[in-house]
Chain A
Amino acid sequence: MLLSMAGSGKSVEIKKISGKDETRGHLASMGFIEGEKITVVSKMAGGLILDIKGTRIAIDRGMANRIVCEGVA
């Protein structure tokens, strides 16, 4: 499923990130890589707040649509 569809409070594992090299490079430097586990802290106006590697990262819905993930227990 897409990250944008993950519910608040759910933990997911990143399976694939699509987009240009530049976008992916930027995401990667913030910790978004395949296999990484992230938690949706909350869904807010305009986007999602995620817990990734212990920090809060806000991303917009468009960006969340590029991240394919899988739910983990």
Chain B
Amino acid sequence: MVIRLALAGNPNCGKTTLFNNLTGASQHTGNWPGVTVEKKEGKLRGNKDVIITDLPGIYSLSPYSPEEVVARDYLIKDRPEIIVNVVDSTNLDRNLYLTTQLLETGIPVVVALNMIDVVEKNGDKIDSKKLSEILGCGVVEISALKKKGMDELISTAINTAKIKQAPVIKEIFSNKTEKFILEISSVLKGKVEDCLLRWYSIKLLENDEKAAEELRLNSQEKSIISETVQRFESEFDDDGESIVTNERYNHIASVVKETSKKAKKEKLNTSDKIDRIVTNRILALPIFACVMIAVYYISISTVGGWMTDWVNDTLFAETLIPGAESWLQSVGAADWLNSFIVNGVINGVGAVLGFLPQMIVLFILLAILEDCGYMARIAFIMDRIFRKFGLSGKSFIPIMIGTGCGVPGIMASCTIEQECDRKITAMTTTFIPCSAKIPIIALIAGALFGGSVWIAVSAYFLGVIAIIMSGIILKKMNRFSGTPAPFVVELPPYHLPGLKTVAFSTGGRAWAFVKKAGTVIFVACALIWFLSSYNWALQPVGIEDSILESIGSAICGIFAPLGWGDWQATVATITGFIAKENVLGTFGTLFGLSEVSDGGEEIWSFVAASFTQLSAYSFLVFNLLCAPCFAAIGAMRRELGNKGCLFAVAYQMVFAYAVALCVYQFGMLFMGGGFTAYTLLAVIALAGIIFFLVRPDKMLKRKKVEVSAT
């Protein structure tokens, strides 16, 4: 018999550590369907028949956050055989709130009293036998960190699942409330399975719209229930949800009083003392800046950068590629096959793997920051600033990492809990110039602006402005308009990061990148290779006669309003999608040079001849803001899903085009170019941007109406 075991618990209760203990390496990370909430599954070590699902960390089963909805839908619709509710025993009052709700789902539950060693160390006591009696389910004392009580937890869970021992129903609310629950139950009887009767009755009493939808009641039943709820609310003179919440906490308070004894506590513990410094009014930002500089320095500038350079330049460019080339020649492979394997396949694989070392270093650092508790403080420190333009406090990290490389930058957005904030961050991170875009900046600055540093400064400034503007624009779109979560965040006590937690978090994220992003990157690179190496008759040719050239010539008219409508610039932009630094190399090839250095000095004169200052700047603006390289697009697909990724790319393209258009056309107008049809187009584009920026927020309006109605 296959047993599906769901791990449920509050954030920071040690659920992930327990999950890693139970599953070992047999876990895989994915997303819950339809949302980008991380889903982790694995098989129990030594017993392949037990499949463990790690539900997201939640405080309750209300329908307010995607995490809560995901957990709740899984429990109510998929009905796992057993729930293991991980409870932080140093904090029973809060953790049991979720427990009482899990017990109402009618699924067998075993409570795992985690961190029991800390309770003992503090001199506190918990009577787990009595707790088990009062709750009506099994209770096992464990310490996930010290691997204590694992066997007992597993055997209790499996036994409970096998005999299908549902929790004993306890009437935890006041008599008056229980009477109303019974009243609703009598209406629902026969409509839902018996084991869910109490669950749905309580939910309806709480005015839970989502539960009401699932029940598909007819209008007569609906009116009976709404009449009952109204009587309930008027009897207590409060709204249904508040009454139920309050009574639930009252019940928990009495449970905790009966089952646990707390030793006297110090007023300020070590965590509080650290917080005094770390979240201090004056010191918070400088400390944060130091931590961020360290993260950036280690992952981008030094260790991670070296490793990535080694993989790209030494392993692939000097060893694998020449090796494969000469081997293929020696076995007499056809030229086209050689070219396909070397330039198509190996380069494609290299594009995926090249970023991996850097990303692993970054993921390790982020996992350490998350696990030690500092990440929660970052959100707190930065939130005030970032919230103003629709991003979360944690958005700072992806954007900063993005200045090095957009790929790990986008992947770093996975630490943001709020789904819409995470998506917006993933979409806008690549607006900030990454290190691969620096050669393009250097080329334009060197060829047309006499090497002025202001071009680079303006590029970063443009990136920041683009992120802020996009934050405001996107937040107002329906697909991102999830109500901003109230800023209330738990600050877990600081502790040393666990090796295992860091290793599993890093491994899971790195693998997800290879799997999800890798395929996109690989296919896209191979396709561009094909287009640039063959003509329509499928004969191998140079890029200047290739299919890509004819595509470039066909579509380059699109870029005429931006001032650079020739096919060379268009093709360079397209090859830039493989990697942004390719833009230079392509210009080199197209101008008949084989080697181009980082700053592109060799081609300055050619570029200067084919661009004006204004058109060159517009070219730069477009290439900085448009869709990033395939690797970054692959990373976006991992974070946003297929549809979201398409939307993101489309948005970036349109935004880049509009901004570049405005830059070029208004520049022309100022320089006395006269008002043309294109100028009109730019005026329309500008008006469009302004409209999207200042249009009223529908969600905000709705909120205001609600407030004034009450």
Mark B residues whose CB is within 8 Å of A: 59-60, 62, 64-65, 90-91, 93-94, 97, 207, 239, 241-242, 245-246, 249, 268, 271-272, 275-276, 279-281, 284-285, 376-377, 380-381, 383-384, 483, 485-493, 703, 706-707
Contacts and interface: CB of A to CB of B under 8 A. Distances in A.
B97 A44 contact: no
Given A20-B706, A47-B380, A57 B91 contact: no
Contacts of A21: 207, 239, 241
Interface of A: 19-36, 41-42, 44-47, 49, 52-60, 62-63
A26 B207 CA distance: 15
Contact of B93 (A23, A24, A31, A58): A31
A54 B271 contact: no
Contacts of A49: 272, 275, 279, 491
Contacts, number: 126
B129 to A, nearest CB: 22
Given A29-B59, A46-B384, A49-B275, A55 B91 contact: yes
B116 to A, nearest CB: 15
Nearest to B240: A21
22 contacts: A19-B486, A22-B64, A26-B64, A27-B486, A28-B242, A29-B97, A30-B94, A30-B488, A31-B93, A33-B242, A41-B268, A41-B275, A42-B275, A44-B275, A45-B281, A45-B284, A49-B279, A49-B491, A52-B94, A59-B486, A59-B487, A62-B487
Contacts of A19: 486
B273 to A, nearest CB: 10
B249 A33 contact: yes
Contacts of A59: 486-489
A34 to B, nearest CB: 7
Contacts of A56: 271-272, 275, 490-493
B487 A63 contact: yes
A60 B703 contact: no
Given A24-B242, A33-B249, A58-B491, 10 more contacts: A30-B490, A42-B279, A44-B279, A45-B280, A46-B381, A52-B94, A54-B94, A55-B492, A58-B377, A63-B487
A71 to B, nearest CB: 17
A26 B485 contact: yes
Nearest to B239: A21
Contacts of B485: 26
Contacts of B377: 58
Contact of A54 (B62, B93, B488): B93
Contacts of A58: 279, 376-377, 380, 487-491
A26 to B, nearest CB: 6
B281 A53 contact: no
B241 A31 contact: no
A54 B91 contact: yes
A28 B284 contact: no
B246 A35 contact: yes
A46 B275 CA distance: 14
A27 B376 CA distance: 17
Most-contacted residue by chain B among A23, A42, A45, A52 (CB, 10 A): A45
A55 B241 contact: no
A58 B128 CA distance: 31
Contact of A53 (B94, B268, B384): B94
A28 to B, nearest CB: 4
A26 B488 contact: yes
B356 to A, nearest CB: 35
Contacts of B241: 21, 24-25, 28
Question: Nearest 9 pairs between A and B by C-beta?
Answer: A29-B60, A29-B59, A53-B93, A56-B491, A60-B487, A44-B279, A46-B384, A58-B380, A28-B245
Say what secondary structure dominates the interface of chain A: mixed
Contacts of A26: 62, 64-65, 485-486, 488
Contact of B249 (A36, A44, A57): A36
Contacts of B242: 24, 28, 33-34
B488 A55 contact: no
A73 B494 CA distance: 29
Contacts of A52: 94
Nearest to B62: A25
B466 to A, nearest CB: 26
Given A29-B60, A45-B279, A54-B90, A23 B380 contact: no
B90 A46 contact: no
A33 B94 CA distance: 12
A42 B491 contact: no
B91 A53 contact: yes
Contact of A23 (B239, B486, B489): B486
A56 to B, nearest CB: 4
Contact of A57 (B93, B272, B276, B490): B490
Contacts of A42: 272, 275-276, 279
A17 to B, nearest CB: 9
A31 B94 contact: yes
A31 B706 contact: no
B555 to A, nearest CB: 47
Nearest to B244: A28
Contacts of B207: 21
Most-contacted residue by chain A among B97, B384, B487, B703 (CB, 10 A): B487
Contacts of B383: 46, 60
Nearest to B245: A28
A19 B488 CA distance: 14
A15 B199 CA distance: 29
Contacts of B249: 31, 33, 36
Contacts of A57: 488-491
B549 to A, nearest CB: 55
B12 to A, nearest CB: 8
Nearest to A23: B486
A61 B85 CA distance: 33
A6 to B, nearest CB: 16
Contacts of B64: 22, 25-26
A30 B490 CA distance: 8
A43 B254 CA distance: 31
Nearest to B267: A9
B100 to A, nearest CB: 12
Contacts of B272: 41-42, 49, 56
A34 B247 CA distance: 11
Nearest to A51: B272
B455 to A, nearest CB: 35
Most-contacted residue by chain B among A22, A52, A58 (CB, 10 A): A58
Given A57-B490, A62-B487, A33 B276 contact: no
Contacts of A63: 486-488
Contact of B284 (A34, A36, A44): A44
Contacts of A24: 241-242
A24 B64 CA distance: 10
Most-contacted residue by chain B among A41, A62, A63 (CB, 10 A): A41
